[in-house]
Amino acid sequence: MAKQTWTLIDTTNGVYVDTQSISAADAEDAPGDFSITKRRLQGGLSDGVDVVQVDNGSTQFTILPTRGMGLWKAVCGEVELGWKSPARGPVNPAFVPLWEPSGLGWLAGFDELIVRCGLESNGAAEFNENGSLRYPLHGKIANTPAHKVEVAVDAASGEISVTGVVHEARLFFNKLQLTTTYTTKIGQPGFTVTDTVTNLWAEPSELELLYHINFGVPLLGPGAKAVLPVAKMAPRDAVAVGNLSEWDTYGPESPGTPEAAFFFDLAADAQGNTQTLLKSAGGNRGVSLAFNKNQLPCFTLWKNRQAATDGYVTGFEPAINFPNAKSVEKRAGRVVTLAPGESRSFEIELTAHGNAESVARAEQAVEALQKAVAPEILEKPNPEWSA
């Protein structure tokens, strides 16, 4: 049977589907059971948030069109992915004070498994000379609703996809379009994220993009490890210097302990492909991220060591730049300029590991990349990477 497509949101043509359920009964000859459910949340800070829930029979994940096509949580077999944020979400962007004077209002809506930081800026908040806010923390795209969302099912291949289009644009400034597609196959223990950013402006546009991919309990806990193929690593700041000896290992919840972050140039194969792994303390659960360094050359490991109620979480963050203030990244030449009509695409594959054998295979894949290069570990911040 041919590929079938359902339009859930299309503001240009006045299409908005409040609720819809799609299953194997709607896709003749689908090679297994699946379901896709569109609904709108009501009440509290989630009031008005559209969600699209996908269940491929092995993996369930929840996409948030209202929040820039972020991904809220996922369950792959017995592996739970996501974290417990102090922000009770998913939070409608209407309740996120993005432009509050501190520049940190973005944090009021931060609770996703995958949240994009960008597109005009993606790092620390930056201020004008008069003290007014120029760029808020992590940018605007995560708090910008999609104006078009489609679901497709290819019964022949068993592929399910959800595609959304988000515009970050205003008069006299950048006009960027994000087209994002989540793809999975029936029975697959994970999914792929494919993004294309296009400059709609008749002038050059600047682009920063970072994927803030966040994992908390139960996968994260004392003894869990980040397994990365390191070509070069440096602590971001003095706090990270103090955690350098255990940068790849997670300790217990530690209320009052500041966050620590480490910047990386990861090892990759000849085509630029690289892979990272977070494995549980027992080594029987894990999650891998695979991506290409030609698309996403920078990587940040973020460790928030607070109590679980305050956001005990780690971030695996592939990006086109490091999350410093935009002026820092621009001086370093890491801000991308897109010509009029130019596009850039990015792909990340997330795979969950539900047993020790799967985790071991993923770890061996990282180790194979590491064997090609001796890791260079800097004992203090790299002035080429840090502010």
Give the pTM.
0.97
Given a cut of 80, whether residue 218 has pLDDT beyond it is yes
- Distance from C-alpha of 281 to C-alpha of 250, rounded to nearest angstrom: 9
Residue 153's Cβ-side half-sphere holds a number of Cα atoms within 13 Å equal to: 23
| Cα Rg, the chain, nearest whole Å | 20
pLDDT score of 173: 86
- Give me the architecture of the 4-377 domain, per CATH: Distorted Sandwich (2.70)
| Three-state helix/strand/coil letters over 250-309 | CCCCCCCCCCEEEEEEECCCCCCEEEEEEECCCCCCEEEEEEECCCCCEEEEEEECCCHH
Q: Give me the mean pLDDT over the 119-125 stretch.
A: 96
Q: Residue 30: which pLDDT band, with cuts at 50, 70 and 90?
A: confident
Ordered by start, the domain boundaries in the chain are 4-377
pLDDT (mean) for 213-228: 97
Q: What is the pLDDT of residue 26?
A: 83
pLDDT for the residue 213:
98
What pLDDT score was predicted for residue 1? 57
Q: In this structure, which amino acid lies at residue 158?
A: G
Backbone angles phi, psi at 234, to 5 degrees: -145, 140
pLDDT band at 32 (very low <50, low <70, confident <90, very high): confident
Residue 235 has pLDDT above 90, yes or no: yes
pLDDT tens per residue across span 135-164: 999 999 999 999 999 999 998 899 999 999
User: pLDDT tens-digit profile of 262-285?
Assistant: 999 999 999 999 999 999 999 999
In terms of Cα–Cα distance, which of 228, 227, 232 is closest to 376?
Answer: 232
- Identify the pLDDT of residue 320: 98
Tell me the mean pLDDT in the region 313-322: 98
Query: What is the rounded average pLDDT of the residues 27-47?
Result: 90
